[in-house]
Amino acid sequence: MRVLLTGAAGFIGSHIHAALRARGHDVVAVDLMLPAAHGPGAQPPAGVRRVDVRDAAGLDLLLPGVDVVCHQAAVVGAGVDAQDAPAYAGHNDYGTAVLLAAMDRAGCGRLVLASSMVVYGEGLYRGPDGIVEVAGRRSDDLAAGRFEHRRHGVALTWAPVPEDTPARPRSLYAASKVAQEHYATAWAAATGGTVTALRYHNAYGPGMPRDTPYSGVAAIFRSALAAGRAPQVFEDGRQMRDFVHVTDIAAANVAAVEAALPGVEPLNICSGQPITIGDVARTLAAAHGGPEPVVTGAVRSGDVRHIVADPARARQVLGFTARIDPAAGLAEFASAPLRPAAAGVTVG
């Protein structure tokens, strides 16, 4: 198939590019090469063209003959500063809208969209009477070291999040990913197109950007260890997450490109093997040879307590099961190469 791959030079996009080519697909690979993601003066790697997805005329030249668009281009990160909002809205949401309109003009009716676990916000929790919805944690609880969500004074436990969980974004980045999904869903309704929205959980692996305020926590820990510093673990380190290797994410994208699922299908892309943030830091430190992590008890604004995926739907409809165990993958990541990244929001 002929595939237009946006964000092809980014961390995840570059792995997808290689995986699609290995399967024999004809890949039209594009990336804007923003300095914040690739460094000042960075040039596109071999086989990648410099294209801005907000450039409608440029897309009109590329899309004829394309069977499916694999849309990875996005400003990524937690949205740690309110001043980042225009970048998220401009690149992620407006860029996606321009791309969808161009797909309609070209008669291309299939989209594989990079989405994220962050659309779920606080995730799901279970109390004595079953699943309960939670809001943000109380500042006085956090200050006192009471990190778990509580209901009537009783700590709640996490529950795996299925794809039909309502979107409740808690960051600028999350709001932009929800908007991307909504634009894509509306486009599918208007055109009869199909959308497979892959909600990545915590990605890691070789080529991940180095330590910036917008890096994933695995890269932040890895960068600290490379500099001889102890990884700093927020709260009590017992926050539960799902870490999925970038090669598994690439495999999921290839599967989505080849499966041609009908309608609009959001899917969790995860390892299915939850792990605490503290164990991530300890695994990386042990494999790197120290120093040992420090659990700080500090709280980072906007962080959620637990977010763990339910992998069943992706296995059922896409035939996707992650192959890399997080413990083994993280130990290997302890010595994997990282890419430099300028401070600021990055496009991946």
List all residues 6 or more positions away from 94 whose beta carbon is below 8 Å from its beta carbon. Answer: 54
DSSP 121: T
- Does residue 200 carry a catalytic annotation? no
CB 243 within 8 A of CB 280: yes
Q: Where are the beta strands (DSSP E) in 177-276?
A: 194-200, 202-204, 232-233, 240-241, 243-245, 264-269, 275-276
List all residues 6 or more positions away from 40 whose beta carbon is below 8 Å from its beta carbon. Answer: 342
Q: Which of 173, 183, 200, 214 is catalytic?
A: 173
Residue 297 φ then ψ, to 5°: 75, -5
State the catalytic residues: 173
